[in-house]
Chain A
Amino acid sequence: MGNFILKLDALSAFFLFLILLLSFLTALYGTQYLDPSEKKLGPHWFWFHLLTASMMLVVCSANAVLFLAAWELMSLSSYFLVVLDHDHKEVRRAGLLYLVASHIGLAFLTFFFFSLGEQAGGFDFDQFLQPGLALSNPTLLFLCALVGFGIKAGLVPFHVWLPEAHPAAPSHVSALMSGVLIKMGIYGLVRALTFLGQPPPTWGYLLLGAGAVSGILGILLAMAQQDLKRLLAYSSVENIGIITLALGLGLLGLSYHLPLLAVLGFTGGLLHVLNHALYKSLLFLGAGSVLKGTGTKEMSLLGGLIKTMPWTGLLFLVGSAAICGLPLLNGFVSEFLIFLSAFHGFPQSSYGLMLALLAAVGSLGLIGGLAIACFTKVVGIVFLGKPRSERTTQECGWSMRLPMAFLALACLAVGIFSPVIIDLFSPVVAKAVGLPSFVVSAELGSPIESLTMLSLVFGLFFLMALVLESFRRWRVASQPTSDAPTWGCAYVRPTPRMQYTASSFTQPVMNFFRSLLRPRTQSHPPEGLFPSGSDYSTQTPDPAKDSLVLPFYRRFRDGLMAGRWIQQGRIQAYLLYIALTLLALFLSSLVVP
């Protein structure tokens, strides 16, 4: 059953490219980021390379048992990377949560592959793909794959481990995890879908719904965070949501036989995988550079870093514009394709599908708007304005700058040269959709025309901005310029404390969504005739965790407690269990030959 079969098709090759690119860049960054005088780094690099190798094995393996083994190796090695700072209690807790979540996911995947293998008569992926294989329970298998891979990808409500583990890991590992590791969940899901045959519409609706919920909840929770790396982790949940939503659109296209919707949905989703890998790694590396340079990742203590850390500031700003899906950069292109798939699918569909597409457009629009609010907050609070606390800051070194600069340039390149990139994508998409390559290329014809125009307009934009900026500089330079304090109603001694804070910036949004997020506030207003101390604090706990995952976990645990009496701790009882089990097996072999 377990054959060591490796295969490299277009889909694997695409993910392999991501793994190799990002692990190289993050490793380069890590050499300077980690301080060898603090800790022995041998084990760290051991696990780092093992993680890279196991991810490569995951995307190349063409046998279920090998896949599961590689998957487990990947989870374990990343666990050890997360707990590098294991002398901190919260890091150990985060690591444990990650380990538990990974193994719950593995349980679902084991069931998925073994059930599939049993029906296919073998565990090679080729056997799963043999024509005429009629699965008895495709929807159950789909759900198992969704949960198992969804845990790794960080889909709501299975994302609970993600905002704990990502901030706990060293920043270059966070970048690798957010950029590539969670995408293994997407790879697994896409690969699993190819085994399951023609999808019924319900799968597409389910993926679309899960994606929309992940996207909206992820970005809202990201906005509520004070810790820079936690914020980025929640934003990964959001982006996984966008990818899942796009895959849902693609599946709906397959179910309703709308090839353009299918091809555009999958292309947009897979391109977003690439894009998110590029800009999220960039942002995590930037956050690491902030952490190393200032010693904190609390946004309320930072400010004005663009002056002391100009490189990090510029590159982080590029990453944040990319993640907001703004024109010129790569994020725009994938969201453009996803929107385009919904717009193309809309006129020719049934009422159910129309409603789904309407929801997709509405929620993607909302996510886009919220992402802008979230990332203007990050950039504005951390890099602009004035420092909010007294601390020494130091710009990062070249080995940390270069990977970031490369990623920022890659974001720009994918944005500008999108038609070429999409052309390269057609075999990958063909593999994912299960259509011949030439059909996919033909379907992509008109979107590529749009993208070509898009590149043209971007070029014009650069030209226009250049002309306008030169004219502006000329006008400004030909008249006297002077410096003055920021306008504060004529108050001329503003202090950094007078700046807007991260929580006040997001307050309108948080207030609007309060019934969903249920923020907890604690306040002691000034009281009495001579009021002295007063305080106000607000916290936004993860609603999916508090009202879904934890209650479910408690129920589950209480249910299992019913079997607690079996565990007596007495040797005699255990021997009895063994004897009874053997007897039962013996008897059953008599009854069922």
Chain B
Amino acid sequence: MNPLTILLPLLLSPLLLGVINKTKALLAGRRGPRWFQVYYDLARLLGKGTVYSQTSSWVLRLNPAVGLACLSVALLLIPAAGFSSALPFSGDLLLLTGLLALCRYSTILAALDTGSSFEGMGASREAFFSCLTEPILLIVLLGLSHVASSNSLNELLRFPSQAWGTNGAALVFWAVALFILLLTENSRVPVDDPNTHLELTMIHEVMILDYSGPDLAYVEYTASLKLWVFASVLTQILLPNRLEGLGGALSFLAGVALIGVAVGLVESVMARVKLDRVPALLMGAAIMAVLGLIQVLKVGL
């Protein structure tokens, strides 16, 4: 274990959002916000006053810390930059899905705590989409754990490069499925639009409408960490060759940045799909996940 596995995500995850925004700006011919704009925003929010909804209770106030604790503990389970994870154990992949679920549960309840119909709408959509993403994520993890013959993310994401030789096709399928999950779970286009200004069409943004000040900083930072977690998992699946030391760290960071570019590209060239078409997209991801498994089984023959 190396402190970098924790420090890199904690320090660089807002920058990933910067990469996405820069990509979008570049493709639209704008200069776009500064690379470190998200850091400035977070710092500014931490120094701002807070406005609470009169309807809300302690549930709304507790959510920011719970969500951030979920994601920061999740970072202990994921290897990064060629270093092993802080607390690897058999079954930690299930804990990762559990922590994401706890974060989501807390966010949904906080949204409902305000009694707002907009936030109820966002919560309802979030709950529905996650019903579909949860089994897909688990099936992908099942497949990966089969290929790596281990139930620990540490082995799963650092398995030897020959997996690409024998199970390359399956890994591509899972990577596509994971990318769709990344877009869904992090409320990116084509599922949700982080830039929209109409409450009726939002998912994640609308659930946090009543947050302000340091609370909002927590929630935004949590969201950036969540994006980082997905991007980091995806990168480590897609990187076929592992370098040691500095080379490994740099290739990992380049990979994560590329994922950010890919998200930015998707957001630049695609519109949001209609909300009732999102399940079809997720079913596509589910089929990808199962196809990958079939591929692995065929190789096993």
Interface, chain A (partner B; CB < 8 A): 303-304, 306-307, 317, 321, 324-328, 332, 336, 339-340, 342-344, 346-347, 351, 354, 357-358, 361-366, 368-370, 372-373, 376-377, 379-381, 384-386, 446-447, 449-450, 453-454, 456-457, 460-461, 464-465, 468-469, 472, 475-476, 479-489, 494, 496, 498-500, 504-509, 511-512
User: What are the residues of chain B within 8 A of A364 when measuring CB–CB?
Assistant: 135, 138
Contact call A324/B105, Cβ cutoff below 8 A: yes
User: What are the residues of chain B within 8 A of A365 when measuring CB–CB?
Assistant: 97, 134-139
Of A303, A325, A384, A454, the contact of B109 (CB 8 Å cutoff): A384
Contact call A481/B89, Cβ cutoff below 8 A: no
Interface of B (DSSP majority class): helix
B residues 22-61 with Cβ under 8 Å of A? Answer: 46-59
Contact call B109/A385, Cβ cutoff below 8 A: no
| With contact pairs A339-B138, A384-B115, A489-B199 given, residues A457 and B51 touching in the complex (Cβ less than 8 Å) | no
Of A332, A342, A361, the contact of B135 (CB 8 Å cutoff): A361
Of B54, B109, B132, B199, the contact of A483 (CB 8 Å cutoff): B54
Asked whether any CB of chain A lies closer than 8 Å to the CB of B131, the reply is yes
| With contact pairs A487-B116, A508-B125 given, residues A361 and B64 touching in the complex (Cβ less than 8 Å) | no
Contact call B51/A484, Cβ cutoff below 8 A: yes
Closest beta carbon of chain B to A223's beta carbon, Å: 10
| With contact pairs A366-B134, A384-B59, A479-B49 given, residues A485 and B91 touching in the complex (Cβ less than 8 Å) | no
Closest beta carbon of chain A to B149's beta carbon, Å: 6
Contact call B94/A336, Cβ cutoff below 8 A: yes
Docked pose: A361 CA to B140 CA in angstroms: 10
User: What are the residues of chain A within 8 A of B290 when measuring CB–CB?
Assistant: 358
User: What are the residues of chain A within 8 A of B119 when measuring CB–CB?
Assistant: 486, 500
Asked whether any CB of chain A lies closer than 8 Å to the CB of B297, the reply is yes
Asked whether any CB of chain A lies closer than 8 Å to the CB of B117, the reply is yes
Asked whether any CB of chain A lies closer than 8 Å to the CB of B123, the reply is yes
14 additional contacts, CB 8 Å, given A380-B113, A469-B62? A325-B101, A327-B98, A336-B94, A343-B94, A361-B139, A373-B130, A380-B109, A447-B91, A450-B92, A482-B50, A487-B209, A487-B210, A499-B115, A500-B120
- Name A485's closest neighbour in chain B (CB-CB): B54
Contact call A486/B210, Cβ cutoff below 8 A: yes
Of B54, B130, B139, B210, the contact of A369 (CB 8 Å cutoff): B130
Docked pose: A488 CA to B210 CA in angstroms: 10
Docked pose: A479 CA to B216 CA in angstroms: 14
- Name B301's closest neighbour in chain A (CB-CB): A351
Asked whether any CB of chain A lies closer than 8 Å to the CB of B68, the reply is yes
- Name A487's closest neighbour in chain B (CB-CB): B209
Closest beta carbon of chain B to A245's beta carbon, Å: 14
Asked whether any CB of chain A lies closer than 8 Å to the CB of B118, the reply is yes
User: What are the residues of chain A within 8 A of B84 when measuring CB–CB?
Assistant: none
B residues 64-123 with Cβ under 8 Å of A? Answer: 64-66, 68-70, 72-73, 76-77, 87, 89-92, 94-95, 97-99, 101-102, 104-105, 108-109, 112-121, 123
Query: Which 9 interchain pairs have the tightest Cβ spacing?
Result: A500-B120, A380-B112, A365-B135, A385-B115, A369-B131, A475-B214, A453-B89, A373-B127, A508-B128
Contact call A368/B101, Cβ cutoff below 8 A: yes
Closest beta carbon of chain B to A406's beta carbon, Å: 22
Contact call B52/A483, Cβ cutoff below 8 A: yes
Contact call B127/A343, Cβ cutoff below 8 A: no
Docked pose: A385 CA to B101 CA in angstroms: 22
Docked pose: A362 CA to B138 CA in angstroms: 7
Contact call B46/A475, Cβ cutoff below 8 A: yes
Docked pose: A339 CA to B93 CA in angstroms: 10
| With contact pairs A361-B138, A472-B214 given, residues A306 and B59 touching in the complex (Cβ less than 8 Å) | yes
User: What are the residues of chain B within 8 A of A332 when measuring CB–CB?
Assistant: 98
User: What are the residues of chain B within 8 A of A447 when measuring CB–CB?
Assistant: 90-91
User: What are the residues of chain B within 8 A of A512 when measuring CB–CB?
Assistant: 128, 279
Docked pose: A485 CA to B132 CA in angstroms: 34
Contact call B293/A358, Cβ cutoff below 8 A: yes
User: What are the residues of chain A within 8 A of B149 when measuring CB–CB?
Assistant: 347
Docked pose: A252 CA to B125 CA in angstroms: 37
Contact call B50/A476, Cβ cutoff below 8 A: yes
Interface of A (DSSP majority class): helix
Closest beta carbon of chain A to B160's beta carbon, Å: 16
Asked whether any CB of chain A lies closer than 8 Å to the CB of B218, the reply is yes
Docked pose: A381 CA to B293 CA in angstroms: 40
Contact call A446/B90, Cβ cutoff below 8 A: yes
Docked pose: A242 CA to B72 CA in angstroms: 30
- Name B199's closest neighbour in chain A (CB-CB): A489
User: What are the residues of chain A within 8 A of B50 when measuring CB–CB?
Assistant: 476, 479, 481-482
| With contact pairs A446-B90, A482-B49 given, residues A488 and B118 touching in the complex (Cβ less than 8 Å) | yes
26 A-B contact pairs sorted by A residue (CB < 8 Å): A324-B105, A326-B102, A340-B151, A361-B142, A365-B134, A365-B135, A365-B138, A368-B134, A369-B130, A450-B91, A454-B95, A464-B73, A468-B69, A482-B50, A486-B115, A486-B210, A487-B118, A488-B117, A496-B115, A499-B116, A500-B123, A505-B127, A508-B128, A509-B127, A509-B131, A511-B276
Closest beta carbon of chain B to A509's beta carbon, Å: 5
Contact call A327/B95, Cβ cutoff below 8 A: yes
User: What are the residues of chain B within 8 A of A381 when measuring CB–CB?
Assistant: 112
Closest beta carbon of chain A to B205's beta carbon, Å: 12
Interface string of B211-247 (1 = CB under 8 A from A): 0011100100000000000000000000000000000
Closest beta carbon of chain A to B291's beta carbon, Å: 12
Q: Which of B48, B94, B145 has the most CB of A within 10 A?
A: B94
Closest beta carbon of chain A to B127's beta carbon, Å: 4
- Name B133's closest neighbour in chain A (CB-CB): A369
User: What are the residues of chain A within 8 A of B64 when measuring CB–CB?
Assistant: 468, 472
| With contact pairs A351-B297, A376-B105, A484-B51 given, residues A358 and B139 touching in the complex (Cβ less than 8 Å) | yes
Contact call B115/A476, Cβ cutoff below 8 A: no
Of B51, B57, B99, the contact of A306 (CB 8 Å cutoff): B57
User: What are the residues of chain B within 8 A of A464 when measuring CB–CB?
Assistant: 69, 72-73
Asked whether any CB of chain A lies closer than 8 Å to the CB of B124, the reply is yes
User: What are the residues of chain A within 8 A of B89 when measuring CB–CB?
Assistant: 449-450, 453-454
Closest beta carbon of chain B to A92's beta carbon, Å: 37
User: What are the residues of chain B within 8 A of A454 when measuring CB–CB?
Assistant: 89, 91, 95
- Name A470's closest neighbour in chain B (CB-CB): B65
- Name A480's closest neighbour in chain B (CB-CB): B49
Closest beta carbon of chain B to A446's beta carbon, Å: 6
Contact call B47/A486, Cβ cutoff below 8 A: no
| With contact pairs A340-B91, A468-B68, A505-B120 given, residues A327 and B99 touching in the complex (Cβ less than 8 Å) | yes
- Name A481's closest neighbour in chain B (CB-CB): B50
Asked whether any CB of chain A lies closer than 8 Å to the CB of B146, the reply is yes
User: What are the residues of chain B within 8 A of A386 when measuring CB–CB?
Assistant: 55, 115
User: What are the residues of chain B within 8 A of A453 when measuring CB–CB?
Assistant: 87, 89, 92
Docked pose: A357 CA to B112 CA in angstroms: 36
Closest beta carbon of chain A to B193's beta carbon, Å: 18
User: What are the residues of chain B within 8 A of A465 when measuring CB–CB?
Assistant: 65-66, 69
